[in-house]
């Protein structure tokens, strides 16, 4: 086998080239170390993009003692952390009137009095003490309508209304009038649907 074959030329590194490659590698930046440096380590705050090159042993030591915030005053650190929320990019207040009084949002009396929402992005603003409107399936809405109740009716109101209608529509109470029997069935079915929906 020919060791200096043109086919093997690109597959191996000759010993003299390997030695030259080792010598051309950068040396560790740690004082007194002659090892090859393969691991970059940041130089610190206000020197972003600049790196030391260390060997494995010394990059571990450096990383254990590295503190980006060393020498920074408390006020500077607080300001840095606040700006870090937005990635240190400038931001603009969405609604300057809502941030009156030192940036604290306040809503004066009335519905959405501190700001405007012309496109309805935030939906309707609830008044204090108002309950959130629940989303009901059509069958439940129809059952409430059959009992003559609004969509926000409570369980106690539903029960009271059901008992009242049953007493009025029952054949024993109305002298056996068969015309009201269909309405009684409708009321009973509506109440059954509301129980299945766990509103009662």
pLDDT at 101: 47
Task: Write out the DSSP string of the chain.
Answer: --TT-TTTTTT---HHHHHHHHHHSPBP-STT--SBP-EEEE--TT-TT-EEEE-HHHHHHHHHH--TTTT--HHHHHHHHHHHTTTT-----S-GGGGTTTT-----TTTTTT---TT-TT-PPPPTTPPPPPP--HHHHHHHHHTT--TT--HHHHHHHHHHHHHHHSTTTTTS-GGGHHHHHHHHHHHHHHHHTT--
Q: What is the pLDDT along the chain (200 residues), one digit of tens a residue?
A: 676 777 766 665 666 665 666 667 788 988 999 888 889 999 888 788 899 999 999 999 999 988 888 888 999 989 988 888 888 888 776 655 544 544 444 444 444 455 666 777 766 555 555 555 668 888 889 999 999 998 888 899 999 999 999 888 888 877 777 778 888 889 999 999 999 988 88
Please tell me the pTM assigned to this model: 0.36
pLDDT at 177: 74
Domains (range + CATH), the chain: 24-90 (no CATH), 138-196 (1.10.287)
pLDDT at 179: 76
pLDDT at 40: 92
Nearest 10 degrees: Cα torsion 82, 87, 92, 94: -90
């Amino acid at each position: 086998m020919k060791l200096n074959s043109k086919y093997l030329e690109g597959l191996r590194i000759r010993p003299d080239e390997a030695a030259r490659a080792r010598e051309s590698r950068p040396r560790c930046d740690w004082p007194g170390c002659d090892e090859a440096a393969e691991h970059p380590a940041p130089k610190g705050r206000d020197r972003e993009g600049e790196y030391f090159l260390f060997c494995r042993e010394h990059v571990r030591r450096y990383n254990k003692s590295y503190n980006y915030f060393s020498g920074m005053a408390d006020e500077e650190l607080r300001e840095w952390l606040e700006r870090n929320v937005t990635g240190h990019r400038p931001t603009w207040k969405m609604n300057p009137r809502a941030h009156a009084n030192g940036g604290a949002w306040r809503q004066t009396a009335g519905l959405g009095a501190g700001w405007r929402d012309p496109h309805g992005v935030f939906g309707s603003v609830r008044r204090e003490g108002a309950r959130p409107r629940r989303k009901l399936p059509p069958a439940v809405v129809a059952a409430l309508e059959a009992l003559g109740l609004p969509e926000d009716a409570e369980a106690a109101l539903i029960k009271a209304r059901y008992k009242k209608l049953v007493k009025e529509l029952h054949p024993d109470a109305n002298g056996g009038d068969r015309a009201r029997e269909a309405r009684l069935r409708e009321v009973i079915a509506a109440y059954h649907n509301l129980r299945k929906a766990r509103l009662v």
